[in-house]
């Protein structure tokens, strides 16, 4: 194993050979690594965050094309999704749950959809301001998780008083209202 003093000396020698621009980029990379280390430390020191459960279709995925099959997800995200998720993950363990979750190919299709759209959003909006999409841990349970709160486009908050059946029959999700 190398001597830490030798490694420090070698690092300083190598740093001095960098151009001014390279030194600036190196400092930016060092800051990102420091931020990453802080975020990981916070995550592992406080591993039990409350669960936030999000429905997939109509909450994450815009669902403008309607149902095409568990493994077919053609539409873009709902506006603001990824900004919301990056903020929410600081306070919650995020679970994505859907009717797709128990169907063949459903979870894999949702994972692929998130990979595709998250990178597109990241490239367009972040420009190096955050560490990267890999730091958005999402869980895909196969049954409804014990969430503190759930966001769903097809739900009504129960207040202790049952709604009128007519209210339920006339229900429309947010993206179908005029």
pLDDT band per the 50, 70, 90 thresholds, residue 32: low
The arithmetic mean of pLDDT across residues 25-29, rounded, is: 67
pLDDT band per the 50, 70, 90 thresholds, residue 144: very high
Helix axis angle for 106-125 and 81-88, nearest 10°, is 100
Strands (DSSP E) contained in the chain are: 51-55, 93-97, 138-139, 149-151
Poorest-confidence range of 33-42, 54-63, 101-110? 33-42
By percentage, how much of the chain surpasses pLDDT 70? 79
Other C-beta atoms within 10 Å of 58: how many? 19
Residue 175: pLDDT over 90: no
Q: 132 phi and psi, to 5 degrees?
A: 150, 165
Residue 31: pLDDT over 60: yes
Under DSSP, the state recorded for 77 is B
Give dist(CA 140, CA 95) in Å, integer.
6
Report for 4-13, 18-27, 33-42, 101-110: range of highest mean pLDDT: 101-110
Angle at 177 between CA 176 and CA 178, to 5 degrees: 120
Strand-pair category, 138-139 with 149-151: unpaired
Cα-based distances in Å from 63 to 39, 114, 161: 33, 14, 31
pLDDT tens digits, 105-137? 999 999 999 999 988 888 887 766 555 555 688
């Amino acid at each position: 194993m190398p001597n830490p003093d030798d490694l420090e000396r070698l690092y300083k020698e190598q740093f001095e050979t960098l151009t001014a621009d390279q030194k600036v980029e190196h400092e930016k990379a060092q800051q990102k690594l420091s931020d990453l280390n802080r975020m990981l430390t916070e995550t592992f020191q406080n591993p039990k965050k409350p669960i936030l459960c999000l429905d997939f279709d109509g909450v994450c995925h815009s669902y403008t094309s309607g149902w095409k099959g568990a493994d077919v997800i053609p539409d873009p995200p709902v506006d603001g999704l990824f900004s919301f998720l990056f903020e929410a993950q600081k306070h919650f363990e995020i679970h994505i749950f859907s009717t797709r979750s128990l169907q063949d190919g459903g979870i894999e299709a949702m994972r692929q959809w998130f990979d595709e759209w998250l990178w597109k959003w990241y490239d367009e909006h972040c420009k190096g301001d955050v560490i990267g999409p890999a730091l958005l841990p999402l869980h895909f349970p196969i049954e409804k998780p014990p969430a503190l709160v759930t966001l769903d486009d097809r739900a009504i908050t129960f207040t202790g008083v049952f709604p009128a059946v007519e209210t339920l029959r006339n229900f429309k999700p947010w993206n179908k209202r005029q």
